């Protein structure tokens, strides 16, 4: 693990914010698709979920990259 705990906490906080935003966006997309019958709502949800997964993978890879240098 990286010795820079402050940097790790900052990345985790950023990931939590990104996850919260994409969770709300995906929920809104599902509501639009299933509740309001808007066909484009499903794509909002899919894109939001893809961004969320990409952010999670980016966090893990950045922590892994930093641990190799330690």
Q: What value does the mean pLDDT take over residues 1-8? A: 75
**Does the reported pTM lie above 0.75?**
yes
Q: Where are the domains of the chain?
A: 5-69
**31, two tokens:** 């509501």
Q: What is the pLDDT of residues 14-56, one digit of tens each?
A: 999 999 999 999 999 999 999 999 999 999 999 999 999 999 9
Query: Is pLDDT of 3 > 70?
Result: no
């Amino acid at each position: 693990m990286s010795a820079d705990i402050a940097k790790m906490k900052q990345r985790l906080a950023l990931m939590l914010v990104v996850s919260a935003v994409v969770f709300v966006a995906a929920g809104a997309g599902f509501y639009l698709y299933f509740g309001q019958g808007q066909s484009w709502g499903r794509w909002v949800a899919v894109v939001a979920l893809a961004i969320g997964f990409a952010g999670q993978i980016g966090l893990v890879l950045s922590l892994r990259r930093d641990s190799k240098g330690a």
